[in-house]
Chains A and B, each alone.
Chain A
């Protein structure tokens, strides 16, 4: 995989991205190149560093210049320009519970400089695109988890971002809502050529909707390619007739910790629990 020569054809580029929280090296020399217009899935086990990488790309974490670019703009140098291109749905469910759904979206329209003349209409279209038109004037505090997720998607879409970054967008959604979210994303993407960078733990989603996936483990990409390529790469699993799934690929590349004997794992859990109760 050679990186594209035209910098504008690269939506996200990370070169040697490193980020540590204290002694924890969360992202450890990440090399990533997301092409403009594709849906790129970042997969990996819990703690792989996906969220940390995304927070570096979204300008939330201070990274040195030269490590991360969004459409050719350096995240460390041109923060404002980068943020203008982004729509971001964080892993944590978050909507202002003291406002209605419509007001939540209108705030994002305002801070993205949507002219007053088209603000109401644009907000309405964003709400409609995520099927929240009927609930738009209810307080966000009364929304279900899935509704909050769709509201967040509307907030991210209202500014027509060139790069939509979704950190586990479909977590906690029922199968119909999940399909709904993906259908909306696909719809807007075909109309605008928007790039999507998404993390998910649902392998079926990654398989179905992502043009390419990168498998991240311990702060680095361990495997990269289209879902079909990755599945084809996998060494044939002794004798079984079923073709490998993306989940098999995931286990193959990310399973190193899970390979430990069960007893050891259990001790790990107990140790973590003790630490947790001491901290909490």
Chain B
């Protein structure tokens, strides 16, 4: 197993002379086109995970609110039995709704984040790299998904500790992750789209707060669509959060759900979100 003596010594094996940054003298090869988009999305997700690794406080603080919802709202309404859940304990009914809610809150923040990145100049520099707008937006959307999945794991653990009977079937859990990623992709793109329209952080914060509550209460996260008044039912029908919650209930609790329709709506919503957010992203750079 002797090395061929003619082989040039590996760069990394030699103590490199400091003044010779040889790799910086040649441009990297161009990756084939079809592999670029996934690579960019991967790069954005890596950055998200690196940031989470450096600062986990967000993970902890974001776990507080869903825990309170489950603990206070969930436990209380379980006793009251005011909401028809189709025979399952209210806490069980609520848990998927809270997973969707906390994922939505994380995703809605991405519009503010992209404006912050614009203001700090980070976005500007990324826009001058060979990264199509759509790839950048998709990367952010998936990064939101990665963060939301971590959050979903936290909520699932809290729910399990409170005695909610959730599935542990790995295939179904994989489905849960997919649903959470798609939902987060949509809501982060919605938020980035609004960011591309209003362009400033203050306006976006106002709008963000104004839409998250109606989206949450205008969905089946807390109560079934059947108890809603007609107009709210109409809102719920066009609200992607409802489809996300429906799919999560079906997968986690094994209750009846419209999985195919849910996945279809969520994938379409995410795709539309990516298209509109990337069309408006350039406005942030001007």
Contacts and interface: CB of A to CB of B under 8 A. Distances in A.
Contacts of A86: 128
* B11, B21, B54, B129 — most chain A CB neighbours (10 Å): B21
Contacts of B36: 113
A90 to B, nearest CB: 5
Interface in A116-135: 118, 121-122, 125-126, 128-129
Contact of A112 (B19, B42, B51, B129): B129
* A96, A107, A113, A125 — most chain B CB neighbours (10 Å): A113
Contacts, number: 123
B23 A122 contact: yes
A98 B55 contact: yes
A103 B47 contact: yes
Contact of A188 (B24, B51, B124, B127): B24
Contact of A111 (B22, B23, B122, B131): B131
A212 interface: no
Contact of B25 (A113, A118, A128, A188): A188
A188 B29 contact: no
A150 interface: no
B30 interface: yes
Nearest to B47: A107
B128 A60 contact: yes
Contacts of A110: 39-40, 42-43, 46
Interface in B158-200: none
A128 B18 contact: yes
Interface string A66-96: 0000000000000010011010101011111
B121 A58 contact: no
Interface size class of A (residues with CB under 8 A): 35 or more
A113 B43 CA distance: 10
Contacts of A159: 27-28, 129
Interface in B1-45: 11-12, 16, 18-19, 21-31, 36, 39-40, 42-43
B124 to A, nearest CB: 6
19 contacts: A60-B124, A60-B286, A83-B128, A83-B130, A84-B30, A84-B130, A97-B120, A107-B46, A110-B42, A111-B130, A113-B28, A113-B36, A114-B28, A115-B29, A121-B11, A122-B28, A125-B22, A158-B24, A160-B24
Interface of B: 11-12, 16, 18-19, 21-31, 36, 39-40, 42-43, 46-47, 50-51, 54-55, 120-122, 124-132, 282, 285-286
Interface of A: 58-62, 80, 83-84, 86, 88, 90, 92-100, 103, 107-115, 118, 121-122, 125-126, 128-129, 139, 152, 155, 157-162, 187-188, 191-192
